[in-house]
Each structure stands twice: as C-alpha cells, then as structure tokens.
A and B are shown apart, each in its own frame.
Chain A
C-alpha cells in the first residue's frame, strides 16, 4: 500500500526536485550576469523529467575491464546541462541575457507552486480517504 502511495506522489516529487534544481541553475545565471566570460546554462525540463521517471538510477556503461571508465563516477550534477545561445552577444563573452533568465526563473517558480498545489490536493485526497468520512 505504501508502495502505491509512492507511485501516487512520486511523479510530483520528481518534478518538484527538478524545478528546485533548475531554479539553482537559473539563479547562477542571474548572479553571474556581470561576470566576464560566464556562459549561461540551462537544461531541458521535459527531457530531464522523462529521464528521472524512466530510470531513477540512470544508465550505467558496461564495466568489463579494470581499464574501463566507471560511469558511476561521472558527476550526475552537471548531466544534461546545456549552454544557452545568446540572441545578442555581449562584448565580454558573457552569454547571460537577464530578461530571458528572469522570465525563465519566474516561469519556473510558478510551476513549482503549481506542483506544490497539486501535491497538497493529493495529500488532502488521501487524508479524506483514510478518514473515510
């Protein structure tokens, strides 16, 4: 039964933690808006969510020889991060466009709140099912 509860809340939990991660990436972009040579980064939310949903551990490379690289050692933190293509290049090689980043940050914050609202509704539904009133 608890396993079903996990299935019931799991997708939203994954979405919430990915949203939190994305807010971190976007916050770095905005914080470094004036840093020379900084390259703005982001990740595709849909792809990341699909990947998180299909395989929670991620795919590991076959490791049949001691000389092979162990893919588990590759940092998962930067996996899937891509560089943004600036619309107007700046003279100090910084690719942060503050308006784009702020728009994405607000969009991300709103989606985070939406996920929280859905999560709250699901918890309420479960509570009323448990109480059986």
Chain B
C-alpha cells in the first residue's frame, strides 16, 4: 500500500478526532441543561478510540471511535430554591459536565487533528514528487 495508506490512516484519525470535537461541543453547549428529553439532567458523553487495520496488505493501523459512552460521574448538585426543577430541599441536579476537562479535551483534539492534517500534506507532497519521477 505504501504512501497511499497514509491517507487512509490520517483520514481515519481526522474523522475520529472531529467526532471527539463534536462530542466536546455537545458537552459544553449542554453544561447547564438541567433537563433533557427524558426529564433527567444532560449526561456528559465521551468517545472511546480503538485501533483498526486499514487493509489486509497494510502494516498500518488507523483509528476509529468504537463507542460513545455516558460519563459515569455523578450529577452536580446545586442549591437553588428558585429553580423550577428544585426538589423539596431546594437542590437541583445539574449535568456532570466538567468544563475544564472538556476544554483540555478540545485542545488535545484540535492539536491531534492539525497533526494528522499535516501528515496528510506531507504524504501528498511525496506522492506528487513520485509521480513526476524521471520527468
């Protein structure tokens, strides 16, 4: 497969990282959504990456999002008696989104995305030069 496989590998990483960015955006947007469609507070989601082969003849392995899990950490309990969803003691269950964690997750994802895009560019340059070999 050679250099052409680099496109498959980096492409799979771009797709996986953009899905991670997507999940981060969803978490950040819903950081204060005390109620979702089923009445419970929004739960943060996290992607799980796993390696996958890109072809029978290739040594390389790409990456894919094998599952999107609900963050198991407990909901944030906030004291706010004026809130319409407050219970008898005046506590509201808020989403378990950790905004600081999500921001670092976002930076990590965008850096990884850039790196893989750079790698794709390098592979493109090398392939184009190979095409003009002997000319």
Contact = CB atoms under 8 A, between A and B. Distances in A.
Interface in B89-135: 108-109, 112, 115-116, 119, 122-123, 125-126, 129-130, 133-134
**A27, A32, A105, A119 interface centre (most CB from chain B within 10 Å):** A27
A24 B58 contact: yes
Interface stretch (A50-58, A59-67, A82-90, A108-116): A108-116
A112 B126 contact: yes
B13 A31 contact: yes
Interface string A6-25: 00000000001100110111
B68 to A, nearest CB: 15
Size class of the contact patch on chain B? 35 or more
A116 B130 contact: yes
21 contacts: A17-B2, A24-B2, A27-B9, A27-B10, A27-B60, A28-B62, A30-B13, A30-B119, A31-B12, A31-B61, A32-B51, A32-B61, A34-B49, A34-B63, A34-B108, A34-B112, A35-B50, A36-B48, A77-B57, A77-B58, A109-B125
Which 7 interchain pairs have the tightest Cβ spacing? A20-B2, A31-B13, A24-B60, A28-B60, A123-B134, A35-B49, A27-B6
Interface of B: 1-3, 5-6, 9-10, 12-13, 17, 20, 48-51, 57-63, 108-109, 112, 115-116, 119, 122-123, 125-126, 129-130, 133-134
